[in-house]
Structure formats: structure tokens, C-alpha cells
Amino acid sequence: MSSQGGALGIGTASDEVQIATIKELEKESYDGGVSSSDPSVRAEKGEVIDVSQREEEDEGDGNMFLSHEEQFPEDPDAPEEQQLTFRAIFVGCCLGGIIAASNVYLGLKTGWTFGASLFGSIFGFAILKPLSTTLPTWAGGGYFGPKENVCVQSAATAAGSLGLIFTSGIPAAYQLGLLSATPKEDFGKLCTFTLACAY
């Protein structure tokens, strides 16, 4: 047994054999039939590959890869869109109100709440995209793009977070004895506090 840990099964081979084995493995990986200029082989070796370099190398094959700056080019036929519209604010606030109401129930029952950002973005697009093509312009129709959908998402997030005070702050105020004995006696204070937070 070796004095370098042979009982454990390690350290039994000499350093020269290990180095020779590593060199043989490296030689086999380099002689695998693929040139070292291939980007996939170079990426496996840990080399940094520029996207524009990959684009130039693949142009001869007829394959066109877009660079990271041109993945989502702007549509030249898209009209100039309004980002802040009444329909975006209205739909976003309605979706945020649904989330706020469900967060009050869910937060008081389980202690968990969820954000309205993803909900507002997906459902806002699902509601407004079909309406934008079917309704006339005076009734809220017209082009609906990603920038206006961000406005829907922002409105839903702002409105959806309003219910969080009813799951954390107000119950804590009752536990600390800062308010009256029952919420019925503090109806005016709660309404004023809600309106102040909503503003």
C-alpha cells in the first residue's frame, strides 16, 4: 500500500501516470474530428465566443443568427403608440383590485400573499389585445403594444399592493392596542387610512 492513502484507494498511481493519462484524454478530445475553431467546441473548452464572431462564421453556411442587440427588432409598420391610456389604467386597476381582495383573504388565512405584476401583465394582455382589434377607436380600440401592457402591469401592481395593509399593519395595530376594540368602531379611521394609502 502507498503511504499517500492507498488504503482508501487514492494516491496509488504515480504522478507521471496521472499526467500521461490527462494528456491522452486532452489529445482525444482535440482529435475528435471537429476543428478547434468550431464555436461549440471552443465553448466546451471554456473559451469566450463573441456573438458577432459566431454570426460571421455562420454566414457562409446560409444560417443567419441575430446578435444580442437585434433579437427583437422594432416593427417599422407599427404605429406610434400611447403608453399611458385610460384603458390601460382602468384594466390594470380592476385586475389589481381583484388581487388586493384575494390577498386580504389569503393573507389573513395563511399569512402568504402574492404580487399582481405577472397576473396584471398576462391578464391585461389577454383582455386588451382582443378588445383593441374589435372595438372602434372612440370606444377604446386601436393599437395595443408592449409599452401599453407595461402600463397595465404597473397599475395592477400599484392597486394590488393596497390590500397588504389589511394583512399586516392593521391587524398588528389591533394586537398592540393602538386602535379600538373592534374594527366596527374604527370604520372612519380605516376608510381614511385606505384613501390616504390609495392616493
Cα 177 to Cα 123, 140, 170, 190, distances in angstroms:
40, 49, 11, 15
pLDDT for res 23: 64
CB 140 within 8 A of CB 87: yes
Residue 36, φ and ψ in degrees, nearest 5: -75, -10
- Which of these, 143, 134, 133, lies nearest to 80 by C-alpha position? 143
pLDDT for res 139: 85
Residue 123 makes CB contacts below 8 A (sequence gap 6+) with: 95
Cα 103 to Cα 40, 94, 118, 198, distances in angstroms:
48, 14, 15, 16
pLDDT for res 86: 92
pLDDT for res 128: 92
Average pLDDT per consecutive 10 residues, the chain (199 residues; last block may be shorter) = 49 59 61 52 52 48 58 66 87 93 89 87 93 87 87 92 84 88 88 81
Please give the DSSP secondary-structure letter assigned to residue 144: -
pLDDT for res 127: 94
CB < 8 Å & 24+ apart, contacts of 34-37: none
Instruction: Using the Cα atoms of residue 96, residue 97, residue 101 and residue 104 in order, give the sign of their dihedral.
Output: positive
Does the global pTM surpass 0.85? no
pLDDT for res 164: 83
